[in-house]
Chains A and B, each alone.
Chain A
Amino acid sequence: MTLKVRNPVVVAENGDVRFVWLGLDESEAEKGILANQYLLVADGEALLVDPGGYYVFERVYKNVVKYVDPEKVVGVFYSHQDPDVTGSLNIIEDFFPNAKVYVSAIWTRFLPHLGAVAGVKMVELPDTGATIRLGKRNLEAIPAHFLHSPGHFNLYVPDLKLLFTGDIGAAVFPEGEWYLYVENFDEHAKYMEWFHKRFMACRKALDKWLARVEKLDLEVIAPQHGAIFTGENTRRFIEWLRSLGPVGADILG
């Protein structure tokens, strides 16, 4: 069974700031690891967040233009370099001509292998993080290196108390099942465990990230794969990661 949801959902909203989930596609090859694409709109400008590959691009584009003109998309935030994040880079410029691409500095020399991207305006995010301006707002690119990508960033939106966590929080749904919001955390944790044990590089990286994220005022955690945590479940997710034990290379012994 193929899961396709065409209509967007506003995940969080505060005045002129909105965070929008852009729908769902599933190819059989994804094996339950469905990718989320998002749009952040602030004061009439917009930032695409992990817009994904070619085959989801039409749906992403159609949903973006429900909220802003393509010319108002001033940025694309890539949490990391994987193809389910960056695959549509070649046509980004054609459809969002004013978009700068924000990505870890360690990936800018690799991305051109997706095709020539001379026309794309790359903004390299330094390892320590950066502030991204959107409309009248400051967003925070928070380092999440080695979780799993060695050049991985989260995006914090203070106005929404929302953290986009890239691969952190990913879940693998059973066949034929999907939901956008986590309701039963204990059940959902079962779908997250394998991914975090297998993909996160090591416990040290996770602890370093937790130390920083625990200081944030959080109401929403939105991952690139899996489901969104709201309210009390944001705290439970942080606690779950804290208690997850060894991951990645730690398991090798």
Chain B
Amino acid sequence: MTSKTLSGNVRDAPKAGSGLAECVREKILEGLPFITGIRGGRIQLSLSRMLFRFRDWYTPNVKVEDDRIVLELKGDRSSIVLAAPPDGSSVSSQYKGPRGWILRKHLPTLESAFQSLLQECRKSMEERSATAIDSTMEGADYSRHLARVSFVSRIVLKSLMLANDEVIVRKGGLLSVLEDYIKEYGTKYRLLYISGTGPATFRLLFVDGKPVGAFVHTDGRDYYGVEADDKINEIEGLVRIKVYGSLEPPEEVLVA
């Protein structure tokens, strides 16, 4: 959908909730389930129950009304309204149109999605500075970023794979193996990303030879930073290690 079409819908929203409404408007495509079409600022939702399916094209409209954020979906044959206070609690929904027995089954899913959308928007507005990657890099800890696919993808995309080895490590011996890689490649590549799979999954980040992030996933749990370091020491067995060297300066790869 075009922002031009939808932005008009939120322009008159009261100031207090307008930022939130704007955010919801921007994230409709990301947040709403059942989207199966986009055309000229409209979205198609497709909902099914058993062998029956209902599809309709809707124009989304986000507004603030009585201190509630309201998402109206006005369709060709039906309409859906979702409303909640800014904190996302107590979402209400309303459906008008044919085949209500199909739609109503999915209203809880739409309510839940709307709630998540509101909470995500609130979180991003309140904690933007806390969640952003440290723009100065000084003293930055990227451990939690290493759990994110997008962060890892971005590094790998801008890097050269330097090593891809299978190594048998004894307990407590992995760190010395990793040190060898850092010695070998750390002088040529300022940013090194090292990933490992085997008895545990680990991801490590080094800038100028110094660790700036550690992530370990083992036994169904995630560990970050110092905790991750401890877990790395416990890894033993056959481990596949991949080492990537960034082709671009760390400041450009790591900074948002």
Contact = CB atoms under 8 A, between A and B. Distances in A.
Interface string A147-188: 000000000000000000000000000001111110100000
A97 B38 contact: no
Contacts of A176: 2, 38-40
A9 B195 CA distance: 32
B153 A181 contact: no
Contact of A115 (B1, B161, B195): B161
Given A5-B29, A9-B46, A180-B46, A58 B150 contact: yes
Contacts of A117: 164
Contacts of A116: 161, 164, 242
B35 interface: yes
A137 interface: no
B156 A54 contact: yes
B153 A54 contact: yes
Contacts of B37: 178-181
B197 interface: yes
B157 A54 contact: yes
B36 interface: yes
A9 B31 contact: no
B29 A4 contact: yes
B44 interface: yes
Contacts of A94: 152, 195, 197, 201, 203, 242
A90 interface: yes
Given A9-B36, A119-B197, A57 B161 contact: no
A163 to B, nearest CB: 20
Given A176-B39, A181-B36, A181-B46, A91 B156 contact: yes
Given A93-B197, A95-B149, A180-B46, A119 B40 contact: no
A54 to B, nearest CB: 5
Interface string A113-149: 0011111000000000000000000000000000000
Contacts of B122: none
A62 B149 contact: yes
A49 B144 CA distance: 29
Interface in A69-111: 88, 90-91, 93-95, 97
A16 to B, nearest CB: 17
Contacts of B153: 54-55, 57-58, 88, 91
Contacts of A93: 197, 240
Interface residues of A, number: 32
A249 B156 CA distance: 38
A7 B164 contact: no
B244 to A, nearest CB: 9
Contacts of B2: 1, 176
A90 B153 CA distance: 9
A11 to B, nearest CB: 10
Contacts of A58: 148-150, 153
A190 interface: no
B33 to A, nearest CB: 4
A204 interface: no
B175 to A, nearest CB: 20
B156 A180 contact: no
A181 B48 CA distance: 13
Nearest to B37: A179
Interface in B125-179: 148-150, 152-153, 156-157, 161, 164, 166
Interface string A1-44: 10111110100000000000000000000000000000000000
Contacts of B30: 4-7
A75 B36 CA distance: 26
Interface of A: 1, 3-7, 9, 54-55, 57-58, 61-62, 88, 90-91, 93-95, 97, 115-119, 176-181, 183
11 contacts: A3-B29, A4-B29, A5-B29, A5-B30, A90-B161, A91-B149, A94-B201, A115-B161, A119-B166, A178-B39, A180-B46
Which 8 residue pairs are nearest across A and B when measured between Cβ atoms?
Answer: A179-B37, A180-B36, A6-B30, A58-B149, A116-B164, A58-B150, A7-B33, A115-B161
Given A5-B29, A178-B38, 10 more contacts: A4-B29, A5-B30, A5-B35, A6-B29, A6-B31, A55-B157, A61-B149, A119-B197, A179-B37, A180-B46
